[in-house]
Amino acid sequence: MLALLRLPTATFARSFPRRPARLTTPALCRASHTQNLVEKIVQQYAVDLPEGYKVKSGDYVTIQPEHVLTHDNTGAVIPKFNTIGATQFRSPRQPVFALDHDVQNKTEKNLTKYAKIESFAHQHGIDFYPAGRGIGHQIMIEEGYAFPSTLTVASDSHSNMYGGVGCLGTPVVRTDAASIWATGRTWWQVPPVVKVELRGSLPTGVTGKDVIVTLCGLFNRDEVLNTAIEFHGSGIRELGVEDRLAIANMTTEWGALVGLFPADEVTVAWLKSRVRRLELEHLAHPNPNFAPTPPGHFFTHPRVNDRRIDALVSDPLRAEDGASYAKHLVLDLSTLSPHVSGPNSVKIATSLAKLEAQEVKIHKAYLVSCVNSRAGDIRQAAEVMRGRKVKEGVEFYIAAASSEVQREVEESGDWEVLVEAGARVLPAGCGPCIGLGTGLLQDGEVGISATNRNFKGRMGSLKALAYLASPAVVAASAIAGKIASPASLLNSSFSPSTSPTPAFSIVTTGEGASQAEAVKEDALPGFPDVISGELVFCHADNLNTDGIYPGKYTYVDDLGPEEMRKVVMENYDKEFAGLIKKSDILVGGFNFGSGSSREQAATALLSCGIPILLAGSFSDIFKRNSINNALLLLESARLVEDLRREVGTGALTTRTGWHAEIKAGEGIVKVTKADGKEVVYRVGRLGRSVQELWLAGGLEEWVKERL
């Protein structure tokens, strides 16, 4: 794999590194570049760099991550691993398997799938966590796979959460996971880095969840889309690790690929407390992935231990003075109040005080998920619910983020408070957050949840409304039967129902992005000179992967192309499958493919016979999945705006009557409109790296050729 490749910003080929190429002299003369924290961590995990080279935003690098997590989708990665011809793992200590998504499913089919994954893990000596142990991301934090100043990836979009403990976590897709299993490596383009400065202190009753809900609502025009976020400022010291984890987790919904806090004294104190807790856990609930402790020896956790903590303290990793950032956002924490996200969008954030006045009746409430179901979250909910009952007619569902979390709150008595109040207990896992199992929203229902995603239809019916809030607000709402503030139940413990205006600012510096100039390259032999077809327009912005390929099919691993074609876009437009034809060219809006990392969002479109997809812009994870599966992508904001103006947005999906001839290797899209008028759009070229993957039939075949 190529160690590093600089591509022009105008070139769409933000994809897979090519075979080793000669770097230009200017690229090798950047040793004086001052690095931010993201770049410094990547520097440690980038392999085969030229001597003295300093990684910078925009670089394509080959990375060898500390760990890679797969969950239920391990069942889909295994055949990819086998298909590419791999017979053993490059490093068995690198992968982690954790079953967490469909844990309520007790059908023979799902249990057989889980058993096969466990058997595969034991066969290859991979760390394995069974259903019921908890959500994979929480396990990665608890067990130290995500450790400060390291780089760890996951085949799941919420790997951003690792940034809460100072670990650079970022999502990869299933094909990448198979590549890492086989080679230990994958590719990554270092994103533009945004500095988010948090000032001041949170008022009483305002939580990390309120911080990220507010950020998603204030900066809701894709200001941080496909960037890496670094948190800075005096306000960080006031945030505990659980608040940081919640904020980092939902930087995914904000549009970022990384949400990174620095490792500081708060992190170190938390790690030291983890050492003690893990020693106690080992006595009562030993981790089966560990070798037995020899008689007469003290147990030492292999990843969370005093030696690693001391090394972290003695040699801290920090952004350098004068480091470059693409943007600088500032938020004054002292001006925040509790906020609620929705309905059905994280880009809508309303102060709790305003929403409470609207008397929004709810039917279901949820305290589940990897963002807000840790011990501190459950304690906040218990403080609100102690001595009270869930409102008649409301269903309140709870699931701890992990079995360890549940034991901790059972020991403190907080779990029992929720159960006595009328909560319905679910196993530690994802469950209703991703639309699986018990308690999903039905037609016409309204739900409020301490989860991270409220896309239309994600938690159940497309005809339901979903709001997101902090655990305390969710608990208060379950008691009141409507969206409500804990202030009405708890006097001085929570902020009064006021809604000051958050103080914030944003500066775009233009630094930290690749400034390379376009480089002319010849197309590879066999790559098509022209791709032609009728344009089919799906105008919606932020069309997420739930809309493209519904979550209820995501873990049905034996769904073939023909079946996928029938359900593609089902949550967006049920008419789509009947409108699309083979060789049509699909055109989407902006930030197409946002949301989860499910690979089928790309492969389902391929199953329709779509050769190439255009959009105003793409979500980075969707882009990665598409390129890895040989689905070609091009971006043209001008084409999208022309279609909106001339064809319109009256229908969710429109056969436009416009025909396109695309010279992808040259970056030219020639469109003949319905009236015969021709227009030429200039787009980014599909460079040789993308062409190479397309000719190979995707990343799996590319890796297979090189094993």
Domain match, 452 and 541 both = no
pLDDT in tens, 411-449: 999 999 999 999 999 999 998 888 888 999 999 999 999
Question: Kind of pairing, strands 632-635 and 653-663?
Answer: unpaired
Tell me the residue range of the domain where 384 lies. 359-482
| Least reliable range by pLDDT among 30-34, 423-427, 481-485 | 30-34
Averaged pLDDT, 603-632: 92
Query: In this model, does residue 4 exceed pLDDT 70?
Result: no
Domain match, 549 and 698 both = yes
Amino acid 518: pLDDT: 38
> Could you tell me the strand order of the sheet in which 67-70 lies?
127-129, 95-98, 67-70, 151-154, 168-171
Amino acid 435: pLDDT: 84
Tally of domains in the chain: 2
- Does 595 fall in a domain? yes
Domain match, 444 and 559 both = no
- Does 573 fall in a domain? yes
Domain match, 557 and 622 both = yes
Query: In this model, does residue 3 exceed pLDDT 50?
Result: no
- Does 335 fall in a domain? no
Q: How far apart are CA 383 and CA 679, in angstroms?
A: 63
Query: In this model, does residue 91 exceed pLDDT 90?
Result: yes
- Does 44 fall in a domain? no
| Least reliable range by pLDDT among 68-82, 178-192, 261-275, 315-329 | 178-192
Q: How far apart are CA 704 and CA 647, in angstroms?
A: 44
Averaged pLDDT, 570-589: 96
Query: In this model, does residue 513 exceed pLDDT 50?
Result: no
Question: Kind of pairing, strands 349-351 and 127-129?
Answer: unpaired
Query: In this model, does residue 691 exceed pLDDT 60?
Result: yes
Amino acid 366: pLDDT: 97
Length of the chain: 707
| Least reliable range by pLDDT among 15-19, 134-138, 169-173, 216-220 | 15-19
Amino acid 42: pLDDT: 97
Domain match, 544 and 683 both = yes
Domain match, 445 and 559 both = no
- Does 81 fall in a domain? no
482, 513, 545: which is the final residue of a domain? 482
8 Å CB contact between 543 and 594? yes
Amino acid 125: pLDDT: 98
Query: In this model, does residue 316 exceed pLDDT 50?
Result: yes
Amino acid 16: pLDDT: 29
- CATH classification at residue 608: 3.20.19.10
Amino acid 687: pLDDT: 67
Query: In this model, does residue 409 exceed pLDDT 50?
Result: yes
pLDDT in tens, 149-178: 999 999 999 999 999 999 999 999 888 999
Counting residues of the chain whose pLDDT is more than 90, the rounded percentage is 75
Counting residues of the chain whose pLDDT is more than 70, the rounded percentage is 92
Domain match, 392 and 536 both = no
Domain match, 478 and 535 both = no
Query: In this model, does residue 492 exceed pLDDT 90?
Result: no
**Residue partners of 633: CB distance under 8 A and separation at least 6:** 12, 612, 613, 614, 615, 618, 623, 626, 627
- Does 268 fall in a domain? no
- Does 46 fall in a domain? no
Q: How far apart are CA 239 and CA 266, in angstroms?
A: 8
- CATH classification at residue 465: 3.30.499.10
Rounded to the nearest integer, the mean pLDDT of the chain is 90
Domain match, 452 and 550 both = no
Report residue 671's pLDDT band, with 50, 70 and 90 as the boundaries. Answer: very high
Amino acid 516: pLDDT: 37
